[in-house]
Amino acid sequence: MMIKIAKFFLFILFSVNATNVLSLELVIGTERLEPGITFVFEGAIKDHIIPSSHHLAEEKTHVHIEARANWSTDEAPKGAPHEGFVAYLTISATVTNEVTGLSTFIDLLPHINLIDNYHYARNITLPGKPDETYTVEFSVSPPSLQALALHRDWVENHGKALAEPVRYRYENVDFLAITQASR
């Protein structure tokens, strides 16, 4: 228990940004996908999201699961805005309790806020207790050709899709500090 408390205080200490605004986010993983897309997968503090008819209410939420998808600063394709949002992706997450095996599946939807700007996210209730560990798997699919048309120069340089579909898996994810925080 003392180790978890110490981890929580260290997490808070290192989560204060340069402007001294508390911005608790648990980085679950960071990945890079051709052609120059950087993903940062996070567990963030639960939040009030509108329209409320499409999102779990803040008081019924444990964690705000996020996926930031941005063009890489140094490896973005020609014409892509450096660190700009990569739109039209289909991103989902499966959160599995490592103790009970229970899972929660969610589609991440485009969101905007003043911290991350555009990102994909969703409020969730964990399939178990906040102090248990979880495996989190993110699936990323490129947009269909009905959602995003490709010009010849893109196809000649990068192929007939924005990117390849991928899955990223992270084990032993501890959401406890995030579940206990509030905005």
What are the domain boundaries of the chain?
Answer: 24-180
Is CATH 3.20.20.60 what the domain over 24-180 is classified as, yes or no?
Answer: no
pLDDT of residue 23: 57
Say how many C-beta atoms besides its own lie within 10 A of residue 93's C-beta.
24
Q: What is the mean pLDDT of each run of 10 residues along the chain (183 residues)?
A: 45 40 80 96 95 91 97 88 95 98 97 94 97 98 94 93 96 96 84
pLDDT of residue 98: 98
CA 45, CA 54: separation in Å to the nearest integer?
18
CA 86, CA 120: separation in Å to the nearest integer?
10
The residues facing 97 across adjacent strands are 134
- In Å, how far are 43, 107, 181 from 110, measured between CA atoms? 16, 10, 23
Neighbour-count burial of 65, counting CB atoms closer than 10 A to its CB (0-12 exposed, 13-18 middle, 19+ buried) = buried
DSSP letter at 159? -
CA 82, CA 80: separation in Å to the nearest integer?
6
Q: Are 174 and 155 in contact (CB under 8 A)?
A: no
Residues with Cβ < 8 Å from 150, sequence gap 6 or more? 160, 161, 162
- What is the model's pTM? 0.85
